[in-house]
Amino acid sequence: MEEYHLSNDQLQVRFIRQGACLTYLGKDYNYLLRYHNLSDYQTNDLYLSTIVGRNAGRTSPCYYVDHLGKQVALDANEGSDVHLHGGHQSMKLALWDLVELTPTEAKLSLTDQASECYAPMTFTLTYRLEGNRLITTIEGHADEPTVVNLTNHAFFNLNESKADPITNHWLKLAPAQLQLFNQSGVATGELDAMLTSPYKVYNCTQPTRIESMMKAENPMAERTGGGLDFAYLFQENTDMEPKVELFSADHQRGIRIFSNQESCVIYTMNQTNGEIINDGIQAEPYAGITFEMQRLPNYLHHFDTDVPRLESDYLYQVTYEII
């Protein structure tokens, strides 16, 4: 399995074609979790830095209504009635074609037609370096309106050693509402402003220690077993200001995330199975944190947005700014 390289005087990026996974992001230090052996990306049980789709997040009940008004069944791959990250035909292991490669830009393409749940769609993915920024753009086109909701599942750990958990990191988010979920982790459609409710601890409009969020006592915390696995709906959907800012405990390393996506699912790798990651380290719970920029989870059933529910033309943009 071959790694491809991009670099300028401020940033290095490496990626592979399997899942279009990023394997390195930084200059002299890798901000990402990665597998120690590239062969582990052939299964990628942790979803490390893969492009997830066709429908990121959890959808339940397992169906949607297509553009002709027909009910289309979705396959359940988590429990009996949850369609997670695109189901059994998820894009996470898709082999992207490398179309163009320069020192600072790569273009990849993929026609996703593996799933019977969704109409075929062709995607063009661009990784481009500009100064200390990695700009990710995905453009998609289908012949008919269909479901499309992709995300990059990159996990970050800014500690000197990836053996140390991310609980000591500082997190700041743009103003947002918290999406509530049920016992199965499925969004209910309810939103909470995190002002006076038991969920105030998840309000990160000011820098917040991740460990303090994990110590919360409320129904959502009980369902996630102490870690984070929450979705935020941003009040303003603009990519001009960072929606996410993450800093190491000593503030010596940081990353800012800009995106045109309306929502972000934050997940702290709450479960692992002894996978071997950076420098031969065994992955433990809370080894990394991912920010899944995407449509609001379960939007196929809780639809209240200016963005069409089904799309034939799609644009996804995420920028990672290394500090």
CA 173 remoteness from chain centre: 15
pLDDT digits (tens, 9 = 90+) for 302-320: 866 667 789 999 999 999 9
Q: What is the pLDDT of residue 45?
A: 94
Q: Which residue has the higher pLDDT, 302 or 96?
A: 96
Q: What is the pLDDT of residue 115?
A: 72
Domain boundaries, the chain: 4-322
Q: What is the pLDDT of residue 304?
A: 64
Question: Would you say 82 and 184 are in contact if contact means Cβ atoms under 8 Å apart?
Answer: yes
Give the span between the Cα atoms of 208 and 214, in whole angstroms: 11
Residue 169 token pair: 């990191």
Domain 4-322 carries which CATH code? 2.70.98.10
Give the span between the Cα atoms of 33 and 44, in whole angstroms: 12
Query: Going by C-beta distance under 8 Å and a sequence separation of 6 or more, which residues neighbour residue 268?
Result: 166, 210, 214, 227, 228, 229, 285, 286, 288, 289
Is residue 277 predicted with pLDDT exceeding 70? Answer: yes
Q: 224 in helix, strand or coil? A: helix
Is residue 28 predicted with pLDDT exceeding 80? Answer: yes
Pick from 116-120, 203-207, 240-244: least confident: 116-120
Give the span between the Cα atoms of 32 and 28, in whole angstroms: 12
Query: What is the reported pTM?
Result: 0.95
pLDDT digits (tens, 9 = 90+) for 129-140: 999 999 999 999
Query: Going by C-beta distance under 8 Å and a sequence separation of 6 or more, which residues neighbour residue 149?
Result: 53, 54, 55, 56, 57, 294, 295, 299
Residue 13 token pair: 């990026």
Question: Would you say 315 and 124 are in contact if contact means Cβ atoms under 8 Å apart?
Answer: no
Share the mean pLDDT of the chain: 94
| Residue in the block written with tokens 């038991």 | 198
Given pLDDT bands bounded at 50, 70 and 90, which one contains residue 88?
Answer: confident
| Residue in the block written with tokens 């479901």 | 147
pLDDT digits (tens, 9 = 90+) for 170-195: 999 999 999 998 888 888 889 999 99
Q: What is the pLDDT of residue 114?
A: 65
Q: What is the pLDDT of residue 306?
A: 65
Cα 18 to Cα 148, 174, 231: the distances in Å are 20, 32, 27
Is residue 281 predicted with pLDDT exceeding 70? Answer: yes
